[in-house]
Structure 1
Amino acid sequence: MKRKYIIGIDGGSQSSKVVIYDLEGNVVCEGKQDLRPMHLPKPGIVEHPGDDLWDSIVIACKRAMTCFQGEPKDIIGIGLCTIRFCRALLKADGTLASPVMSWMDTRVSKPYEDNNPAVKYVTTSSGYITHRFTGEFKDTAANYQGVWPMDTDTWQWTKDETVVKQVGMPREMLFELQMPGTILGHITESAAKETGIPKGIPVVATANDKAVEALGAGSLSEKTALISLGTYIASMVHGYENLKDSNHFWTNFASIPNQYLYESYGIRRGMWTVSWFKDLLGDEIALKAKVLGIQPEELLNREAQLIPAGSDGLMTVLDWLAPTDAPFKKGIMIGFDGRHTRAHIYRSILEAIALTMKNRADAMCNELKIELDRIIISGGGANSELFMQIFADVFGLSASRNVISGSASLGSAICVAVAMGVYDSYANAIDKMVKVRDTFDPNPENTVLYKRLNDAAYKKITEYTDEILKKSYPIFL
């Protein structure tokens, strides 16, 4: 029997990745292209410049197909996953009427108010990229959370005209919705010429990026939390009801039709903060790492590994991007003394991510009345053994990471495998395609220390600093 392949596309906030898998979830080859810096013309406006989302996917596709040694005709489908909460305004022919709005753009949390007569359609990043691949005006239903006229019970457009008027998006401006695991269309001749992917290959609907990542991480248990380490960091558990009016989490669509993910509140610019600190160190850290033959991140991990749990009292608050309802918030580092080095600062950032997500996951689980039995860590940060151990110690639970740490592309491939009948269920597909790399058990002494630090001080920092920041914020408007 000939070997068959699946293409999983992960269009993220910082890069586009295209991975070709075999049917057992093994990576055959891949291509990646970094996105360009966001266009920030004025406060609140955050756009992907030009046609960057599509252009980066095109380059990543070409790179993947160039190194692909198999037969292109043996590729059975493409799973497409892109960033959630983006908004794309399209002309009648499906081309961009203006740059795609990032999830960080304040306009995406408001009703559509654009008066540009050239705008014919309002859609998501997945809707736009689906059109570029297939020519169809179709999109996955599972990428419409936020300000859309969406009925989250039926996974279809609402029939409530009051809601339609509130969001400013009449039905004729919206794409046709399909469930995850269905075929949205097929690669057109023009898309084939641009990407190198053969014409006619089916493009399969997945879901929003966090849901697809959860699927690719193998997270289907109601007592297993996935901690997704991305530009936006969140924790998620699987669910079966569309729970509403919650206080400490929100209900997201899952990648499995008519199922849901309960998602804790997260960290905006989460792993971005780690990159920010690395870049802040400049050439010195890069040159030292080069001499040692390692990446700068690995050098920082090695240095921070020598710092005791708790970073000798240095604590970080991760508000490098303030929420829209509290624009005064800023990032904070508190507790410096003469012992502290760059390794302390780096470890403090990692500990802040773990402590923040522990508190937010606890709030979600308490409301759901569940107790976690383990956590899975996904994203590039999972490659750090130090970070994995910090998570295990802070949560007091075993922390696992998978062979495929950036699991959105694998989740996309799983959707294709089910859609094309390779596996008869998502559970069976996960069993065959998701592989655990290793597990980190908590150090009891560190768990006790982190709990003391968290309860006595970390949870309470912003009760005092918010009042100071509220006073300083107007000075710099």
Structure 2
Amino acid sequence: MSTKYILAIDGGTQSTKVVIFDTEGTEYCSTTVKLKPMILNNHGKAEHPDDDLWTSLIEACQGVLKKFQGNVNDIIGVGLGSIRCCRALVKEDGNLAAPVQSWMDIRLSKPYEHELDEVRYVTTTTGYLTYRLTGEAKDTRSNYVGPWPIDPDTLDWYVDEDKFKAYTTPREMLFELVDPSTVLGHVTQKASEITGIPEGIPVVATSNDKAVEGLGAGLEDDGTVLVSLGTYITSMMVGDKYDPNTVNYWSNPGAVQGEFLYESNGIRRGMSTVTWVKDLMGSDVVREAEKRGISPEAYLNELAAKVPAGSNGLYTILHWLARPNVLHERGMMIGFNGTHKGEHMFRSVLEGIAFTMKNNAQAMCDERGTELKNLVVSGGGSNGELFMQIFADVFGVPAHRNVVNGSASMGAAICTALALGVYSSRHEAITNMVKRRDTFMPNLKNTELYHRMNSEVYSQIPSVTDELLKKSHNIFHNPKP
């Protein structure tokens, strides 16, 4: 019997990635297409320009299928994953009525309100792309995180009329909801001609992107925490209970029916901060990296690896993008002296990310009554060995990387394998498809140092600076006449 394949779509904030796996989790080829820069303005709007999510998906599908050396007729399904907490306003013909609103857009802090007469549907990114690929007005019920008229227990649209109306979105504008890891529809002739995906292949529902990533990382309810390194950085665990009254984490729908993803507080524009430091250091870094035949990030990692743990007392607070309910937040670096150079700043950002996520993950574990035993790190940032060692040292537990560390694509493939009956359970699919790459053990001396830095200084900084930042925010946003 010939090998069977799955085409997995991983739509992100900065790029669209399409990967072809076999049903045992081996990656055969992939194509990543960068998205255009976000359209941002001073009023809090953040939009994906033009029809970027769809056109980038077309390009990525065409690219990966050109690379694929197998028989396209052996592709058994498409797993559709995309960014959560976004809003797409769609016309009857499937075209956008307006640019897709990013999760960073202030409008996503409240329900949809009537904006344009030509809007037929209000949906998520997965709903929009489903409509494009299949012509079906269906969407995974597990990507409705945020201000939608959905019952968090049943994951159906509210039956109670008063609750539904509070969300101001007409029912006829909303898609039909289906369970994650089930079939949404099939690739239409038109979509096939544009993307190259064979007509009639089933398109499978996934979940919100973090739950998909958790599944693809092999996350199980055994004291393991996943830290996802992306534009938004968060830590996650899984379980089977929804609890609306938690303090240090919240429950999201999972990637299979009956599962919930527990997610800690995170870092907005998290890995963008690493890029910011690289850009700040300028063309010298790029030129030296080119001389060595490596990426600028790899060169900075080499430099920062020579900096002692703790960056000689330089601390970075990662609020480069304030949360909507605390707009006075700002990022900061504190503790400079004359010994600090660019590599200290770079390492301090990495340590700041690890400190923040350690505190957030520990608060989640403490509230759940669960011991934090292991750490899995996913996303492009986990390719840096320095960053992985910092995570192991700050968390004080083994830090693992998987062979496929951009695990949202793997999660989309697992959802597809489950929907099409390749595997009968989540555990069986993970066992057969998720493979561990390596493990970083904590350096106990560094762990002790980081514990002191975190408990005595880092975790205390916001309580000292918060009132000053509120005053600064007031100066610039509420000036005196």
Assess same fold via TM > 0.5: yes
Deviation for aligned residue 1:94: 2.4
Q: 1:89-100 residue pairs with structure 2 within 5 A?
A: 89-100=89-100
Stretches of structure 2 that go unaligned for 5 or more consecutive residues are: none
Secondary structure (helix, strand or coil) at the match of 1:450 reads: helix
Question: Quick check: 2:304–2:344 contact (8 Å CA) kept in 1?
Answer: yes
Mapped to 2, the partners of 1:388 and 1:41 lie a distance apart of 35
Quote the Cα distance in structure 1 between the aligned partners of 2:408 and 2:466. Answer: 36
Residue 151 of structure 1 and its aligned partner are, at CA, apart by 1.0
Question: TM-score, normalized by length of structure 2?
Answer: 0.98
Cα distance in structure 2, aligned partners of 1:425 and 1:191: 31
The answer on 1:295 being equivalent to 2:295 is yes
What letter matches 1:346 in structure 2?
Answer: F
2:229 alignment partner in structure 1: 229
Does the CA-based 8 Å contact 1:222-1:239 persist in structure 2? no
Pairwise CA RMSD: 0.9
> Cα deviation per residue 1:134-170 (whole Å; 9 max; x = unaligned)?
0110000110111001112112111122221111112
User: Residue deviations 1:337-364, cap 9 Å, x none?
Assistant: 0111111000000000000001111111
Measured after TM superposition, the shift of residue 468 of structure 1 is 1.4
Could you tell me which amino acid in structure 1 is paired with residue 308 of structure 2? P
The 3-state SS of whatever aligns with 2:103 is coil
Q: Are 2:17 and 2:33, in contact at CA under 8 Å, matched by a contact in 1? A: yes
Q: Deviations over 1:312-331 (max 9, x none)?
A: 00000000000111111111
* In structure 2, C-alpha distance between the alignment counterparts of 1:11 and 1:473, rounded to whole Å: 34
The 1:389/1:475 distance shift into structure 2, 3 A limit, reads same
Render the CA deviation track for 1:398-438: whole Å, top value 9, x for unaligned: 00000011010110001111111111111111111100000
The residue matched to 1:47 in structure 2 has which SS?
strand
**Aligned partner of residue 207 in structure 2, secondary structure:** strand
DSSP 3-state at the match of 1:151: coil
Deviation, 1:40, is 1.6
Inter-partner Cα distance in structure 1 for 2:455 and 2:143: 37
Match of 1:27 in 2: 27
% same residue: 56
Runs of 4+ in 1 over 2 A off after TM superposition: 474-477
Q: Which amino acid in 2 is paired with 1:144?
A: Y
Residue 66 of structure 2 is matched in structure 1 by 66
Distance 2:210 2:67 in 1: 28
Aligned position for 2:132:
132
Equivalent position of 1:113 in the other structure: 113
Paired residues of 1:88 and 1:96 also in contact (CA < 8 A): yes
Q: Distance in 1 between matches of 2:80 and 2:280?
A: 34
Q: CA deviation at 1:254?
A: 0.8
CA contact (8 A) 2:109 2:324 kept: no
Once the two structures are superposed, the pairs formed by residues 42-61 of structure 1 within 5 Å of their partners are 42-61=42-61
Residue pair 2:157, 2:164 contacting (<8 A) in 1 also: no
**Residue matched to 1:168:** 168
> Is residue 8 of structure 2 the alignment partner of residue 8 of structure 1?
yes
Residues 238-283 of structure 1, C-alpha deviation per residue, up to 9 Å, x if partnerless? 1110111111100011101111011001100101111111122222
Which deviates more from structure 2 when the two are superposed, residues 376-385 or residues 275-284?
275-284
TM-score by length of 1: 0.99
SS for the counterpart of 2:159 is: coil
Q: Which residue of 1 is the match for residue 18 of structure 2?
A: 18
**1:175 to partner: Cα distance:** 0.2
For 1:323 and 1:407, locate their aligned partners in 2 and report how far apart those are by CA, in whole Å: 26
- 2:225 is paired with a residue whose SS is strand
CA distance in 1, matches of 2:60, 2:282: 28
In the aligned structure 2, how far is the partner of 1:152 from the partner of 1:259?
A: 12
Question: How far 1:117 sits from its partner (Å)?
Answer: 1.4
Give the alignment of 1:320-331 within 5 angstroms.
320-331=320-331
CA positional deviation for 1:395 = 0.6
Deviates more, 1:253-262 or 1:91-100: 91-100
Cα distance in 1 for residues equivalent to 2:40 and 2:229: 24
The answer for the alignment partner of 2:373 in structure 1 is 373
Question: After the TM superposition, which of the residue ranges 160-169 and 143-152 deviates more from structure 2?
Answer: 160-169
Q: Aligned equivalents of 2:68 and 2:111: distance in 1?
A: 44
1:221-370, aligned counterparts within 5 Å?
Answer: 221-370=221-370
Match of 1:184, SS state, is strand
How far 1:221 moved relative to its partner? Answer: 2.1
Distance in 1 separating the partners of 2:279 and 2:422: 44
Partner letter of residue 440 of structure 2? Answer: F
The superposition leaves residues 29-75 of structure 1 with CA deviations (integer Å, 9 ceiling, x where unpaired) of 11110000011244210000010011111111111011111111100
**How far apart are residue 469 of structure 1 and its match?**
1.3
* Structure 1 residue 366 displacement after superposition: 1.0
Deviates more, 1:216-225 or 1:202-211: 216-225
Aligned to 2:209: 209
Aligned partners of 1:434, 1:205: CA distance in 2, in Å?
20
Distance in 2 separating the partners of 1:255 and 1:210: 9
Aligned length: 477
Query: Partners in 2 of 1:123 and 1:347 — Cα distance?
Result: 40
Q: CA deviation at 1:292?
A: 0.3
Whole-Å separation in 1 of the counterparts to 2:441 and 2:280: 32
Q: Deviations over 1:371-394 (max 9, x none)?
A: 111010000011011000000100
After TM superposition, give the deviation of residue 28 of structure 1 in Å: 0.8
Compute the displacement of 1:126 (Å).
Answer: 0.4
Give, in angstroms, the shift of residue 111 of structure 1.
1.8
Determine if contact 1:17/1:33 at 8 Å carries over to the other structure: yes
- Give the secondary-structure state (helix, strand or coil) at the position aligned to 1:287: helix
1:474 to partner: Cα distance: 2.7
Q: Does 1:455 align with 2:455?
A: yes
Distance in 2, matches of 1:92 and 1:69, equals: 37
Q: Which amino acid aligns with 1:397?
A: V
2:431 maps to which residue?
A: 431
2:468 counterpart SS class: helix
**1:249·1:264 contact (CA, 8 Å) conserved in 2?**
yes
